[in-house]
Chains A and B, each alone.
Chain A
Amino acid sequence: MGKDEVSTKKRRKINTTTSIDASKLAPADVYKRVVEFEESEAQIRSAEKDAALFKKICHDVRQIFSDVADLKVKGTDEANEKINAKRIEASLLLVALKKLNRLEKVRTRAGRDALHKEKQRVDSTHLLLQNLLYEADHLDKEVTKCLQFKSKDEEIELVPLKDFYRDAPSEISRPEVTKADEHQLQLARLEWELRQRRELAGVCSELVSSKERVAAAIAAARSRLDALAPHLRDVLKATKPLQECLALRLDEKRDEAQAAALLPPPLFLLYANAGAYSDALGAKNVTVAIAGDEDEARRLDQLTNEESEVVVSNDSDSDQDNNDEDHRDSKKKRHHRTVKVSKEERAEAKKKEVLKTHPLNVHVTVKNSDETSVDLIFSYMIHLKIVVVKFIMNVSKPIIGVSAADVLNGDCILNELYVGDTGTDSPHPATAYLLSTAGISEHFSHFISEIGRPFIWAQRMCGLDFMAVVSDKQKTNKNIQPCQSLSVASVENFIFTLKKRLKARVELMKELQDLESGKILPSKGMPCPVKLSGSLTQWQSITWNEYSQAPSTLFLISEGLVTDVFMLYRAIITRQSAKLVALVAVSSDYPKKAPLFSLTLHWNGTHNSLTNDDIRDIERVINTDWHASDKGRCSLSSQIMKLLTCLDILLETMGSPEFPPDKVMLQSVRGRNRMKPYKFLKQGAGAFVHY
C-alpha cells in the first residue's frame, strides 16, 4: 500500500516536473519511462551534490518547522496564514526529499549491481588462473618424466669404443656419422652388439650339439667295455688248468694285489714298498704278505666310500673323524634304544670300537742269514689313525742260557731301534683326545700289550709323519695323508737297521752264552796278549732295581747315561781273595754303543769309582774311547778281556805278596795321580805302559 502511495506520489512528482512528456505517453509505459528516466537521471546527477542538496533541504525543513513553531506560539491569523504557506513550502521540500531518496536508492542498486558483476568477473578470472597453474604443473611433471627416462640399451654391456671402431665393419660403425653424433654412435654400437651375439649363440648351439655327440660315443664305448669283462673272466677261467699245470702263482699274486687294494693307504704304502724291497733283495731276506679277513675289509671299504660320498654331497668341512664319530654315535643310540645293554658292556663295545684295527694287516718277515727271523705284523688302527706292530721271533737253534735268551726276546730287540723310539706311547698327538672323547680314561700305553706297539719307525714306514703335524698345529685335526717318499726312505732304512740289529743281537747272544758259561773268547784282531790270572765266575742278568741300588752305578744314572731300557748284567771276576763285581749296562743299540761298566772291587775293603781313583781309572779305560788306538770293534768280550787285564795290573801294582807281578811294566806307578800302566804295548814280548 505504502508502495502504491509512493508510486502515486512519484507519479505526481514526475507529473509535475515532466508534465509534457508524461501526458503524451501511454499510462502503461509511464512507469517504465519514469523508471528509465530516473535511472538515467540518477546516473547523470552527482551523488555528492544530491547529498549536499539533501542536507540543505533538511535544514530548510527544520527551519520551516521552527518558524511554524514560532508562528503557532503567536497564534494569530496572520500567523496561520503564514503557517499554511509554510506548510506548502515544507511539503514541496518533502517532495524534493522523496525524489532525492528515490534517486539515492536507484544509485545504490546500480552500485550493488556493478559490484556483483565485478565480483563475478574476478571469480571467473581466478578460476582460469587455477586451471592454467594446474596445467603448467602437469606439464612440468611430464617433462621431468621424460628427462628421467632410461633406455634399455644402457643396461647392455657394450664392446668398448676402441674395440668397436676396430672390429666393426664400416657399414655399421659409420665413423663419419657416429664420431659426431652420440646417439647414432650408440645405435651403431647396439647394432654391432646384436650381430655379435647372434653369431655367438650360433656357435654355442653348435658346441652343445657336438658335446652330445661325444657323450653318445663315450656311452657306446663304455657299453662295449662292460661287455668285455665277462669275456675276460672266461679267458681267466680257461687259463686256470694251464696255471696249475705249470705251477705258476699268477692267481695268488693277483689275489694279493686285490687284497692290497683294500688295505688302508698307510699299510698299502708299506706293502708296496716292502714288497719292492722283497723283490729286490730276494725272498730270503724280506718277505711280505697280507693277512686278515678280506670280506670284512671289503665291507669296510664300501662303508667308508659311502660315507665319503655323503661328505662330498653335503659339501661340509667335517672330516672323516667327525663322520666316524657321528656314525658311531648314531649306532650307539640305536643300540641304546633297541637293546638294553649294561653300562660296562657299552663301555667295552666303545673301547673296542675305538681300538678297532683294520681287518687286513701286513706281515713283514725280515730274515737273517742264520735262519733267525722276525715276523712283524703291522696293523692300522682305523680310529686312532696309527700303525701298531706285533712281532714274533723265530730262532733257528734253541738258546742256552737265561740272559742270552732275553737278548733275542722280541720285546727288547725292537727297543730303541732308532734313538728314543721306545714304542710305549702313541706318536699321534691327537690320540689322547680321541681316547678321552670315546670315554676311555686309561692312557694309550695301557692297551699296548693287547694291540701292539706304535713305534715311530712303523709310522714312518707307512708314510705317516706326525712330527710334521705337531709342528703345524692348525693341521692337527686334518687327515694325515701318507707320504710316499717318506715311506720309501723309511722302509729301506728300517730293513737294513733291523737286519743289522738282528745280526748284532745274534752275535751278542752268542757272546752272552759264552760269558754265562764262563768262557771269554777274544774277538778277532784282539788276541789276548798275556796270561790272565783272573776268571769270570758269574754272569747273570739283573733287574733295574738291583742295578740302580748299587752305589757304584749312581754316577752313570745321575748323568743319564744308563736308563731302565738297557739290558743289565752282573759279572763277577775273581782272583784269589780279590773279587771284582762289574755291573754291565748294554744299550739296545749295541754294538753301536759300547756297554757301560761300573765296577766294585772287594779286596782290602770295598772300592768303587766314587771312592777309589784306581777303579775310576779302569772304568775310564773301559768305558771311554780315550786313546782309541785299538781300532778293533768294541765287543762285550773284548771289553771284559780289557777289564781282566786291568784288574791284573791293578792288583799286581798294589805291592801285595798275594799278587806277584808277572807282567812287564816299564813303570808301575806314574804321576801325582799314581796311575797304573793299563795300556798294552806290542813291543817285543809286550809291555804295559801308561796312557
Chain B
Amino acid sequence: MLDKIIYNTVLSQTLSPCGKYLVAGNIYGQLAVFDLDNIFNPVIELLTSDYNKPKHIHTLESGSQVCSLVSTKKFLVVGTVNQILGWDWKSLGHSKLGKPAWNITIRPRSLFENCDINSLWCSEDEEKIYAGCGDNKIYVHNLEDGRLVNSYEGHSDFVHCVHGNGKQIISSGEDGLVLLWDTRTKKSHNKIEPHRNSKVQRHDIGKWVGAAALGNDWIICGGGPRLSLWHLRSLDVVTVFDLPDNGIHVAFFHDDCVFAGGVSKHLYQLSYSGDIRVELPVSATTVYSAVLRTNPRKVLSIAGSSPEIDLCTTFNYRDQVLHFR
C-alpha cells in the first residue's frame, strides 16, 4: 500500500501575521508549517535538499481533516470537524504542537453526521469569527470569550465559503445559493442563484457555488456555475468569465483584479471586463486554497489536491514549489 501522503490534498492555508510562516492544512488532519524566510532568502551554506519541505508537520489530536484556516494577530484559527481550535502563533514554532489555546465545539445535528468547518472568515476588527459549516449554518463567535454571538440559517446544504467586507457578509453553498447577510440581523437580506442564470449555469458540473467574495461594489462567485461578476446593489451579472475550468473553488478580489482557481490547470487573474491577465500554472489537480499577501513581501501561495504547493512572489509566474509530504 502506498503512503497516503502521495495523495495529499491541502484544503486550506494561511500566512502568519508576521508573514514569516505559511501554514497549510490537509485532509489527513496535518498542519504543515513552512518557514518562508528560509525559502525566499536561503542561507546558501545552510541550504539542504529539504529546504522546500515543511519545517514542522503537526498532526491534530482528533485526526480529522483541516477544512479551513484563518489567522488573527495572536492566533492561528483552525477549522476542522466539529471544532474550531485556536493556537497561539508563538507555540507553532516548536517542533511539538501543544494543546490549543482555546477551542469552540460545534455540535453536529445527529450522531452519524459530522460538521465540517468549511470556511472561516475573521472581521477586520478581529472581534468576531464567522464559520461556514457543514450543517448548513454560519456561526458567529466572539473572539474575546468564544461565545456564540449569532448563527445564520438560510442554506439548505453545506456552506462552501464565507466572506465579508465589514458591513455585509456573503456566503455560498452546495445548494447553489449565494446569500448576503447584514451583520446585525439573523436573516439574509439578499440572494443570488447563479445556477438559474442561463449565461452562468453549467448543468454537467452542478449548481454548487464553491467560492464567493465581496468587493466594495462587486460580488464575485463561481462553482458549478461559471465564474461571474455581479453588481452588489443591482445583483445583476456584469461579466461572465469564460474559463476552461470544471468548477471554481477559489475566487477573490485583489487590486482591481479577480483571482480565481479550481478544477483547472491554472490559477487565473482576470480584469473586471473578463480579460485573462495572467494564467498561473499550478501543480494541483484542483485548487482549494490560494492565499495572497503584499506585506511584508508579495507572496501568493496556491495549494490543492497535490502534495505540492506553488509559491509566487510576483503573481506572474511560479517561483517555487513546496512539498507537503
Q: Which residues of A pack against B, CB within 8 Å?
A: 559, 561, 593-594, 596, 604, 609-613, 616-617, 619-620, 623-626, 628, 634, 655, 666-667, 669-674, 683, 689-690
**CB–CB B6/A616 < 8 A:** no
Lowest 3 A-B CB distances belong to which pairs?
A625-B1, A620-B7, A626-B4
The interface residues of chain B, by DSSP majority, are classed as loop
Is the CB of B113 closer than 8 A to any CB of chain A? yes
Would you list 18 pairs from A and B whose C-beta atoms are within 8 A, ordered by A residue? A611-B263, A612-B246, A613-B285, A613-B286, A617-B7, A620-B7, A623-B1, A623-B2, A624-B4, A624-B7, A626-B4, A626-B7, A628-B1, A667-B113, A671-B65, A671-B116, A673-B288, A673-B305
Bound-state CA distance A609–B206 (Å) is 20
**Residue contact A624 to B3, C-beta cutoff 8 Å:** yes
Task: Name the B residues within 8 Å of A670 (CB-CB).
Answer: 116, 134, 158
Q: CB < 8 Å: which of A620, A623, A672 contacts B249?
A: A672
Which residue on A lies nearest to B263, using beta carbons?
A613
The answer on a CB contact under 8 Å between A623 and B7 is yes
Min CB–CB distance A26 → chain B (angstroms): 147
User: B2 and A616: CB pair below 8 A?
Assistant: no
B301 within 8 A of A: no
Cβ contacts under 8 Å, A613 to chain B: 9, 263, 285-286, 305
- Residues 104-143 of chain B, each 1 if its beta carbon lies under 8 Å from chain A, else 0: 0000000011101011000000000000001000000000
B160 at the interface (CB under 8 A from A): yes
Q: Is B158 within 8 A of A610, CB to CB?
A: no
Docked CA distance A609–B118 (Å): 24
B67 within 8 A of A: yes
Answer whether residue B210 sits at the interface, using C-beta atoms and an 8 A cutoff: yes
B305 / chain A contacts, CB cutoff of 8 Å:
613, 616, 673
Residues of chain B with a CB closer than 8 A to A655's CB: 206
Please give the distance in Å from B259's CB to the nearest CB on chain A. 17
Q: Which chain A residues border B4 with CB–CB below 8 Å?
A: 620, 624-626
Is A634 within 8 A of B7, CB to CB? Answer: no
In the bound assembly, the distance between CA atoms of A624 and B9 in angstroms comes to 14
Binding site for A on B (CB under 8 A): 1-4, 6-7, 9, 11, 27-28, 65, 67-68, 112-114, 116, 118-119, 134, 158, 160-161, 174, 204, 206, 208, 210, 246, 249, 263, 285-286, 288, 305
The smallest C-beta distance from B106 to any residue of chain A, in angstroms, reads: 15
Task: Provide the residues of chain A in CB contact with B9, threshold 8 Å.
Answer: 613, 616, 673
**Distance in Å: Cβ of A412 to nearest Cβ of chain B:** 22
- Residue contact A596 to B2, C-beta cutoff 8 Å: yes
**Cβ-defined contact, A610 with B285, below 8 A:** yes
Q: In the complex, how many angstroms separate the beta carbon of A472 from the nearest chain B beta carbon? A: 30
Find out whether the CB atom of B285 lies under 8 angstroms from the CB atom of A612: yes
Q: Is the pair B263, A616 in contact by a Cβ cutoff of 8 Å?
A: no
The answer to whether A671 and B285 touch across the interface, beta carbons within 8 angstroms, is no
Report the minimum CB–CB distance from B27 to chain A (whole Å): 7
Asked if B6 and A559 make an inter-chain contact with CB atoms under 8 angstroms apart, the answer reads yes
> Which residues of chain A have C-beta atoms less than 8 A from B210's C-beta?
672
Q: How far is the CB of A2 from chain B (nearest CB, A)?
A: 135
Query: With A613-B305, A667-B113, A670-B134 in contact, is A626–B11 under 8 Å at CB?
Result: no
Chain A minimum-CB-distance residue to B132: A672
Q: How far is the CB of A358 from chain B (nearest CB, A)?
A: 44
The complex places the Cα of A690 from the Cα of B65 at a distance, in Å, of 12
A672 CB contact (under 8 Å) in B112, B114, B118, B285:
B118
Q: How far, in Å, is A104 (CB) from chain B's closest CB?
A: 126
**Smallest CB gap from B112: residue in A:** A666
Given A612-B285, A655-B206, A674-B208, A624-B174 contact (CB < 8 Å)? no
Residues of the A chain whose Cβ atoms lie less than 8 Å from the Cβ of B112: 666, 683, 689
Chain A residues in 8 Å Cβ range of B6: 559, 561, 624
User: How distant is B121 from chain A, measured CB to nearest CB, in Å?
Assistant: 14
Closest-by-CB residue of B relative to A593 is B1
Q: Chain A residue with minimal CB distance to B159? A: A672
Distance A38 CA – B148 CA, assembled complex (angstroms): 181
Q: Pick the contact of A669 from B7, B161, B174 — CB < 8 Å?
A: B174
Please, how many angstroms separate the alpha-carbon atoms of A409 and B183 in the complex?
Answer: 72
**A624 close to B1 (CB less than 8 A):** yes
Chain B residues, CB < 8 A from A561: 2, 6
Q: Are A671 and B11 in contact (CB under 8 A)?
A: yes
